[in-house]
Structure 1
Amino acid sequence: MIKMAMENWKPKTELGKRVMEGSVASIDMIFSSGKKIKESEIVDRLLPNMQSEVILIGGSPGKGGGIKRTPTRRTARMHRSGRRFRISAMVVIGNGDGYIGVGKAQALEHRDAIEKATHEAKLNVIPVKRGCGSWECACGTSHSIPAEARGKSGSVTVVLKPAPRGLGLAAADEGKKVLQLAGIRDIWSKSYGNTRARINYVLAILSAFKKLNAMKVHAAGEKEQEEENESETGKNGTKEAAEAGTKEASEAE
């Protein structure tokens, strides 16, 4: 289906035309330029191996007073002709190698809501900065995240911490879907607030990823070199101050 859509794709934006021509060969070029993706076919062309997961945001009363989670959520509003229903869906897409997108949409039918949410998720694709920031591991591979990150959405706050290799994903089920699609295999997580609100929970994880992308993470060698340069600068400054003090004392005599 995606292949047929790509064959019939006629780009409408300047960015889409450049992707079709081949002058934009990777999605990293789009992120570095700061341009916004306005056509989902751009993601289909540059990231053809994207997978999707539906977040279970809905629920129906079950036996014994429990709630059975459902992929979509139905809301109603009263009208003079009766109740009018809307279906909401939330979809997460990712290639399992550092790219992820989240979309939420409404429609009159379940299938239409999921398709619209998938389309929105493709327009919201972002890179995910990965690494090995755990002091217990320090293997240098991209199995976790390079530093601690905190994200917030509504009343939900999520803290993501680097974990050693082999630990797995210490997160809730819906959080695991997001982390797996982002290509993260080991992580510690802690959540606060009304975490049963799964929409805010997923958006808080996405917020943590965005803050992680804004961080400037150095490699271990670069950090050591910077510390050496700072120590040398401090020593030189102390030496110059001492020489200046000696010179002033000799002039006073």
Structure 2
Amino acid sequence: PAPAPAPRSFSAAEVRARCAQGSCLVRCRRRLYDLSGFVRLHPGGEQLLRRRAGTDVSAALDGPPHRHSANARRWLEQYYVGEMESGDEQVPRRFGLCGFRGTDLGSECPGSRAYGVYKASQLRADLVDWQKPLLWQVGYLGEKYDEWVHQPVDRPIRLFHSDILESLSKTAWYVVFIVWAPVVLYLSWVSYTSLAQGNTRLFSSFTTEYSIPVHKYYFPFIFLLGMFLWSLLEYLIHRFVFHMKPPASNYYLITLHFLLHGQHHK
């Protein structure tokens, strides 16, 4: 393979100018990252990153209050754009590149030895072909699958060759509400009207002498109990089934895991 191109160098003035235009560039010592496309996805909120535009985020990565995980650091490397020019290493400690407080520049991020600083050549050494559907590739990852699937990427992924199947694999958030809200309302009404008739009794299938009548006013409590039990069941399935580690030697179980849940982590 062709050698990776040398990283581009940025001056402090160029970074200040790009930040003034609305870009969100941050640095980790000398390494520079453009987070403009990530700010709205940041779990801590967009404004938190905007306030750090132009500054050294090395200390923020290590915390407190939040120490960023290895996956977060890998994700950060996807936005690597180059290095600060050596002449700009002497930016005063009190000020970041865009007028915010920052820290001194250095050669590498704190914790990089523990988490790894990913070079462009390393980032391109992907285990899958991102230009092709992933569903039929992941089964071949074997023992590398579990680590790979828990490393999120900021890029579009495709599951199926068929455009029809691919379109059915994506759902807007409001579609869930449109489909299920009428179902919930209908079943709730059926249950309430059944209780209102006064014929519903607990344990009536086993005994009539000790059966317990269920009044219509119990409906809100039954509804809340159903929500609690469903949430608990969903959590248990998610925690102990979806997060099971499929056998590295089984192509089909790895593929099934990725289809049911693994792709959610990418």
What TM-score do the two structures reach when normalised by structure 2?
0.22
Structure with greater proportional helix content: 2
Structure number with greater Rg is: 2
Higher RCO (C-alpha under 8 Å, 6+ residues apart): 2
What TM-score do the two structures reach when normalised by structure 1?
0.23
